Amino acid sequence: MKASKENFQNLFENAGIALCAINGRGVIGLANKKFSEISGIKKTELQNNRNIFDFISGENVGNVRLLLTKKTQKLGELKNIECIFTNSAGKSILMLLSLKRLAENKYIISLTDITSIKRSEKNTYLQKRQKEIARLASGIAHEIRNPLSAINTSVEILKDALKLSGQERELMNIILEENKHLDMIIKEFSYYARLLSPEVTLSHINNFIEETIQMNEDKFVDNIEVELKLQKDLPLISIDKSQMRTVFEHIINNAIEAMPEGGNLEISTSHSKNEYGEDQITIQFNDNGIGIKEENMEKIFKPFFSTKENNYGMGLTICERIIDNHNGEIIIQSKVDIGTKVTIHLPVEISPDVEKVLPRLI
């Protein structure tokens, strides 16, 4: 019996995952070395002094409380619940919490970091969706471009060869103009299909924003004011500058077009956490323009959707794909006659391709 107890204690202490024993109120009675490491608190300070709910949060915490207070779990039954674990230094990690009832008012909890798994699942889904769309886009572009070229050439020849009246010549010009319009759509569609994985470099996002504003300052008229609220000392991030400039310029152009009578465009940056508790940079573009109608909000990222004349409706579709390729997220919120807020989250992580340039930056 003694040997069996010692063996259990040894396995508990040296397990590769964080373990702790709690009572029905969540008070930690025993914690192993791994739990102490991830919490940042010594085991002696954890045991009988801290509660598991001091560390976990998120939408599923209520399920953990229910299992403890309602005693709905059978002896030996294992329940897996996702939660956010925040340590003593304030770092948050997405964890899979496994709770097992050992006896009346006694439970054992294990915690496994599932951040990389969740991110991998999300990226796999996005990559699969993007490849399918890109393959479709490439095929459509190829099949349409050749007939368009033939139509354009034929109309040009007929226009010059035939003696056309004013109205007939005008109709020919309309055909050529619409043909040109279709060709521009195909070009944007082709660009979307050819978008490659980003060629990233370590960049100061604040400097990059300021450079982008300077490169586009001729677009800002006197009645539009640009206000920069850039948080200082932000960490470097890995971005493809060419692709990201495409995103920022499109958002800026949209904001300018949304303020025909003038207004204010506020661009801000901050350091925040993503849903997995990882560091990220948040960039926000806030205008007080005409806004977007509620019924159009769910369509804004769809290809070829636009409410503007002579607009091909691929801009935000391209922006979304670029941000997805950077493992980031773009969110748009808008209200008619109040304005639009575009929020971009980009992860703070160093790509393997960028590590080689670090010695030159440090």
pLDDT single digits (tens) 4-59: 667 767 778 877 889 999 998 899 999 999 999 999 999 889 988 999 999 988 77
**Length reported for the chain:** 362
pTM of the predicted model as reported, rounded to 2 decimal places: 0.58
CATH topology of domain 2-113: Beta-Lactamase (3.30.450)
The answer to whether residue 351 scores a pLDDT higher than 50 is no
Q: Are 66 and 50 in contact (CB under 8 A)?
A: no
Residue 205 CB neighbours (<10 A): 21
Q: Calculate the alpha carbon distances from 82 to 32, 36, 87, 114, 136 in Å.
A: 21, 20, 16, 9, 36
Domain at 116-194: CATH architecture: Orthogonal Bundle (1.10)
Farthest CA pair distance, the chain: 108
User: Which tens digits make up the pLDDT trace of 153-196?
Assistant: 888 888 777 777 778 878 888 888 888 777 777 777 777 766 76
Gap between the Cα atoms of 45 and 337, Å rounded? 55
Lookup: tokens for 5: 């107890």
- How do the domains of the chain map onto residue ranges? 2-113, 116-194, 198-355
Q: Is the dihedral of CA 74, 76, 77, 81 positive or negative?
A: positive
Gap between the Cα atoms of 213 and 216, Å rounded? 5
Domain at 198-355: CATH architecture: 2-Layer Sandwich (3.30)
Using DSSP's 3-state secondary structure scheme, residue 156 falls into helix
Distance of CA 200 to the CA centre of its chain: 16
Compute the chain's Rg from CA coordinates: 28
- Please name every residue paired with 135 in a beta bridge, in sequence order, or none if there are none: none
Q: Are 280 and 263 in contact (CB under 8 A)?
A: no
Lookup: tokens for 49: 């002094």
Gap between the Cα atoms of 358 and 352, Å rounded? 11
Q: For residue 146, what pLDDT band results from cuts at 50, 70 and 90? A: confident
